[in-house]
Structure 1
């Protein structure tokens, strides 16, 4: 975005960003609610989870072994240092995944001034089962480890279970891609090798220059900042279905393709 920023411009773009973020997040929550049954691990883990199928399910044993292997590889390492024993039936639950805005630390610097901030990406969200988001895991890691050991173990298992569900049901990822959302697996530097699932939309957000961020922080007195919408992305929005149909048309009937473009 090549433009001159000042505080009035930041306020204007922040208002737009929040309105767009609210709309997209509301839509996304609706999609998650509708697709909630597909996020259940019961059809994947079957008899290996408490309350699951009584009869053996094809692939359930393999899925359990994979989940157990992932858990053991992560739980025994820092920062968790948990017992790695895991037996069935597992105490995992099925619930509609929730959204938590992505946050990260940032330190702007300008002419000797700096500030330690928490920056929010309002068009990116962490996808997790309820109350199992990375922020909650970090809180548990910073608390009384002996008292929270069982709770931390359960949260770690829930996070890995959601990751397993998405691996075993790639069609879910395709559905979200069709709805113009991207799902990717990342890692948080303070959570070791635990997979963190991020869902985002085609519109990006960005940070203005550091001097504007520092100025904004000095005015607000709050050590936080929200990224703002990249308006170039709004201009470039296109319809993926239309583009795919045009490619098919160009390949199958070039004459018709030229006819479409000429109108």
Structure 2
């Protein structure tokens, strides 16, 4: 976007973004609910999870060893600095996946940082383990070590289940909501599962962001979705079919 700051047009863009974002999130959440059974930890970990039925001994042991390695790699590092080890069986309180807003920091020229929310990308977590609460616990110098431990275990468990679900990435890509893994501000090297939409949201010029945050009196901002971004959506299947027809030999 290369627009000067105009209050009316900015408000209109914000409203349009919210409408589109709500529709996209509802669609992504519906897909996530449909495939939730494929990323449940119980079949993978069996008796290593509290209350789960016994699974295939060799396979469940393999998954637990992988998860323990993953936990040891991240839990003791900054910003968590956890010293307590995994207790068996693991207590996974809730394994229902849910979408939370993806946020990141954006530095403004001349000083100042804005916390930006994406309207077209979401972090996958478990219900009852809100990402914003996780961030609060990480930042709190007087935090509860046991609560932080539960958050780290649950988000690593979700990452493990999604990364081991064969074919799930291709399925979501075909649905035009690709799944990826990335690190987020405030959480060190911890890997998070992120679902993106087929519509790209962007930031306006920094001057627009500065004006908006000054008027609102806070340091938060949301990316914007333009009509041009919707019109420019790519349909990978259509492009593949078009290319196939173009390359097909003539009769």
1:204 corresponds to: 200
Structure 2 length as normaliser, TM-score? 0.88
1:163 corresponds to: 159
1:93-142 deviations in whole A, cap 9, x for unaligned? 45321111112233434xx7x65432211111111112434432221123
- SS at structure 1 position matched to 2:228: helix
The answer (yes or no) to whether the contact 1:205–1:227 under 8 Å persists in 2 is yes
The answer (yes or no) to whether the contact 2:92–2:154 under 8 Å persists in 1 is yes
The answer (yes or no) to whether the contact 1:32–1:96 under 8 Å persists in 2 is no
Higher-Rg structure is: 1
Q: CA deviation at 1:234?
A: 1.8
Q: CA deviation at 1:71?
A: 0.5
- SS at structure 1 position matched to 2:167: helix
Relative to structure 1, is the Cα distance of residues 196 and 249 closer, same or farther in structure 2, using a 3 angstrom cutoff? same
Structure 1 length as normaliser, TM-score? 0.85
Relative to structure 1, is the Cα distance of residues 4 and 78 closer, same or farther in structure 2, using a 3 angstrom cutoff? closer
Task: Measure the CA separation in 2 of the matches of 1:138 and 1:212.
Answer: 27
Map residues 1-263 of structure 1 onto 2, 5 A cutoff. Answer: 1-2=1-2, 6-109=6-109, 116-143=113-140, 145=142, 148-251=144-247, 253-255=248-250
Q: CA deviation at 1:175?
A: 1.6
- SS at structure 2 position matched to 1:238: coil
Task: Measure the CA separation in 1 of the matches of 2:78 and 2:216.
Answer: 37
Task: Measure the CA separation in 2 of the matches of 1:192 and 1:156.
Answer: 12
Task: Measure the CA separation in 1 of the matches of 2:73 and 2:219.
Answer: 36
The answer (yes or no) to whether the contact 1:32–1:97 under 8 Å persists in 2 is yes
Task: Measure the CA separation in 1 of the matches of 2:80 and 2:9.
Answer: 44
RMSD over equivalenced CA pairs, Å: 2.3
Task: Measure the CA separation in 2 of the matches of 1:254 and 1:4.
Answer: 51
Task: Measure the CA separation in 1 of the matches of 2:186 and 2:209.
Answer: 25
Task: Measure the CA separation in 2 of the matches of 1:191 and 1:197.
Answer: 13
Q: Which runs of 5+ in 1 are unaligned?
A: 257-263
Task: Measure the CA separation in 2 of the matches of 1:230 and 1:79.
Answer: 36
Q: CA deviation at 1:216?
A: 2.3
